[in-house]
A and B are shown apart, each in its own frame.
Chain A
Amino acid sequence: MMQAVGFQRCAATEFFDCFAGTTKENTARKYGVRGANFIAYKQ
């Protein structure tokens, strides 16, 4: 999606278990929902 508008060198750099300990923890695990860090550049 980022590349489609022109961004380059797009990458996910790290993932976070941000729903651990919440009421949605089981749902998040079932569907693989996580937080993630991203970077992308405009040339």
Chain B
Amino acid sequence: MEQFCEITLDRERLKSEIRSTYSLVAETPTGDFHFHRGPEYAARQLGYDGEELSMLPGASTASFAGVGNPFRVREMPSGAFVIDLGSGAGMDCLLAGRRVGRQGRVLGVDMTDAMLDLARTSAGKADMPQVEFAFGEITDLPIDDASVDLAISNGVINLAVDKPAVFKELYRVLKPGGWIQFADIVIDQELSEKARNDIDLWVG
């Protein structure tokens, strides 16, 4: 049975706090945050290939703050159009770009300008013209209907208050036969109403 908990927090303030936190991560990835960052964490705790990460521009991996590893779910087909919801500094987009090749296309969408700047610079350094980035929110993607082969995301959907809207939007942009392979946070226990509406707990 589907269950949806009521969320009454100030959504605009939450978005502002998310932008502020991830701008700090982009500018100072070694700063004091409650979540891990960086390529060593990605390799040690999430099963990324450390050797492959070492081949990417350091700025794209230093600010990585994912919670799982979408690349362990399923192989990505060469030539596919892949989107990344909340692409951050672009590490997963660059890895996807290596898999789809120059016949494919990767579009990362993020709402934090500092992360977009890092990601675009890294795609240029990596000489991956097939990897692009766009400003946008994951409930209103700047993407045509039924145009995407597969969507990835890593630790971002949990930050959306209206999660059904995210999945509706993903369903809209995917081609028939397309799929999502993503990582995010799960919790075994229902949180109190107070905790569900505490922006500090959402963002950290």
Using a CB–CB cutoff of 8 Å, the interface residues on chain A facing chain B are: 1-2, 4-7, 12-24, 31-43
Contact = CB atoms under 8 A, between A and B. Distances in A.
Given A19-B35, A24-B34, A37 B70 contact: yes
Interface of B: 2, 4, 34-36, 45-46, 66-70, 72-74, 155, 163-164, 167-168, 171, 174-189, 191, 204
B81 to A, nearest CB: 14
B179 A41 contact: yes
B167 A42 contact: no
Nearest to A13: B73
Nearest to B173: A42
Given A1-B167, A5-B171, A17-B45, A37 B177 contact: no
Contacts of B179: 39-42
Contact of A16 (B2, B46, B180): B46
Contact of A33 (B73, B164, B186): B186
Interface of B is mostly: mixed
Contacts of A40: 179-180
Contacts of A41: 177-179
A33 B2 CA distance: 20
10 contacts: A1-B2, A1-B164, A5-B167, A15-B186, A16-B183, A37-B69, A37-B182, A42-B175, A42-B176, A42-B178
Given A5-B168, A16-B67, A21 B177 contact: no
A40 B150 CA distance: 10
Contacts of B164: 1, 4-5
Contacts of B185: 18, 33-36
Given A5-B168, A18-B46, A22-B36, A31 B67 contact: no
6 A-B pairs with least C-beta separation? A32-B188, A35-B67, A35-B68, A18-B67, A42-B174, A41-B179
A38 B188 contact: no
Contacts of A32: 186-189
